[in-house]
Amino acid sequence: MTKTWFITGTSSGLGRILAEQVLARGDRVAATLRKPGVLDALKAEHGDRLWVERLDVTDTSEVRRVVGKAFSDLGRIDVVVSNAGYGLFGAAEELSDEQIRSQLETNLVGSIQLIRAVLPHLRGQGGGRILQVSSEGGQIAYPNFSLYHATKWGIEGFVEAVSQEVAPFGIEFTLVEPGPTRTGFAEGIVQPPALAIYDRTPSGDIRRALKEGAFPIKGDALKCVQAMLESVSHSPAPKRLVLGRTAYASIRAALASRLSALDAQKELAVAADAD
């Protein structure tokens, strides 16, 4: 059965590939991006099956307007993909206040407000699926990505809570957690000037690795998108979709370490209860 998808951040990367693949299989797409002209060729190819609207997810009033217009124009929307975002790279004290605000407003607040905007519509139509694009960085952390991780850990906590609130209305969530993937993400990373004091630290090491191309990027963007498409056919929805060998190994190691540390503190935790 034909589905209608609403996808943010469709100018490049996973969002663009996802829109192309959804259209190729005969579904409809409501695509949003900051520069709609980027999709002119795709629009010419697919006509009315591609609905395009400009959207900057940091503008909450625009998020609500565009979401409302999409549901009004297209009727039912089956799958919402919250994908818009970018990376901010630098030691925490290297980042400017404006860079911090922009990262939080785009990746975290923008995703939260998109989800809030679509919920009444999904509830009204009796349900739907939301795919929130997170990252392996929603469960692990690298030096120099502190604000990026703050947004991904933050949106994962938000989705964990909201998914419980709206489950009775037939609305399901999946957190998509790709590892390093061959998209345009690396080219779009914002990097402030480095502080020399961090040169011989883990921060400096990872900065050099990124600059020299030594940071391993093994993920295949098309395979990630195909996994996202496949996930929508499963019910109940998978809570998380870990994509890539690097993501699997990194997340598994982090979870095992945290569980071990938690177990080692069991007596201390229990002793903190009131008598």
Residue 91 belongs to a domain: yes
Strand, helix or coil for residue 184: coil
The maximal CA–CA distance of the chain, rounded, in angstroms, is 71
Please state, in angstroms and as integers, the Cα–Cα distance from residue 173 to each residue in 33, 106, 134, 165, 177, following that order: 22, 20, 12, 11, 13
Is the pTM of the predicted complex or chain greater than 0.85? yes
* Of 185, 169, 159, nearest in space to 238 by CA: 159
pLDDT at 162: 98
Please state, in angstroms and as integers, the Cα–Cα distance from residue 51 to each residue in 25, 29, 45, 79, following that order: 16, 6, 12, 14
Residue 262 belongs to a domain: no
Residue 70's domain is classified under what CATH number? Answer: 3.40.50.720
Residue 259 belongs to a domain: no
Q: Tell me the catalytic residues.
A: 134, 148, 152
pLDDT at 184: 65
Query: How far is 240 from 21, CA to CA, in rounded Å?
Result: 21
Residue 252 belongs to a domain: no
- Identity at 202, one-letter amino acid code: P
Strand, helix or coil for residue 174: strand
Phi-psi region of 118 (alpha: psi -120 to 50; beta: other; left: phi over 0): alpha
* Structural domain range at position 198: 4-244
Query: How far is 29 from 78, CA to CA, in rounded Å?
Result: 10
Query: How far is 195 from 94, CA to CA, in rounded Å?
Result: 7
pLDDT tens for the chain, 275 residues long, are 899 999 999 999 999 999 999 999 999 999 999 998 999 999 999 999 999 999 999 999 999 999 999 999 999 999 999 999 999 999 999 999 999 999 999 999 999 999 999 999 999 999 999 999 999 999 999 999 999 999 999 999 999 999 999 999 999 999 999 987 776 666 677 989 999 999 999 999 989 888 887 677 777 899 999 999 999 999 999 999 999 999 999 999 999 999 999 999 999 999 999 98
Residue 273 belongs to a domain: no
Tell me the CA end-to-end span of the chain in Å, nearest whole number: 59
Query: Structurally, how many domains does the chain consist of?
Result: 1
Residue 20 belongs to a domain: yes
Residue 249 belongs to a domain: no
Residue 268 belongs to a domain: no
Query: How far is 40 from 20, CA to CA, in rounded Å?
Result: 13
Alpha helices per DSSP H over the chain: 13-24, 40-46, 60-74, 97-103, 110-124, 146-166, 202-211, 221-231, 245-264, 266-271
11: Cβ–Cβ under 8 A, 6 or more apart, which residues?
33, 34, 35, 38, 39
